[in-house]
Copies of this chain bind each other. A is one copy, B any other.
Amino acid sequence: MTKPLRVLLTGFDPFGGESLNPSWEAVRRLHGHILRGHTVVAAQLPTCFGKSRARLQTLLKRQAPQLVVCVGQAGGRSRISLERVAINVDDARIPDNDGRQPVDRPIVRGGPAAYFSTLPIKAQLQALQQAGIPAEISQTAGTFVCNHVFYGLMHALRDSPQVRGGFVHIPFLPQQAVAHAGAPSLALETIVTGLATLIDRALARRRDMKVQAGATH
């Protein structure tokens, strides 16, 4: 009997006064889809320090996925952001959904300063661009719950090199952008297609490509 092949895909509940979170709206539409023989399992995480990581740990144990992509809202960005690195600090500009606002607190006491994504982000960038979907490599996932979950994920996977994981930030949906003067957006369909595209590329390709996508600062 073979082990089932799974992709774990997480989104968050709404925060910061929004009535929806595009990350959850997008990932739930891929729940149950089969991509290169892997079943997508979509799950929601709370936008809370601590709880979100605990929920993610439970999901990792229960689902035993081969690939994990956590997705979060980045209001103000214009494209799908493939995150390169998670850092070991919580520094909350706004309270989380439990009202907690940690400042300069390590996520894992004594943990390394950072973990790199183990997704093939450059190959994913190329796949998105070829599909006509605006995308970019991001050098920071911030210091709020998204980075917290991303660091927690990579810490959990640190001794399981066969399981790859990473984080993707997505823009506001158009209906959210209405209320944020000047903020860019992406249509839900574009985001959903983008997530399917980047998961497909990760499943197709174990090693990343070397394509420059850095930042001078």
Contact = CB atoms under 8 A, between A and B. Distances in A.
Given A79-B177, A112-B112, A177-B79, A214 B184 contact: no
A8 to B, nearest CB: 21
Interface stretch (A37-45, A56-64, A128-136): A128-136
Interface residues of A, number: 64
A93 B189 CA distance: 31
Chief secondary structure at chain A's binding surface? loop
A112 B112 CA distance: 7
Given A93-B214, A113-B85, A144-B214, A184 B187 contact: no
Nearest to A92: B214
Would you list the 5 A-B pairs with minimal beta carbon distance, nearest first? Answer: A91-B214, A184-B184, A114-B114, A132-B175, A143-B214
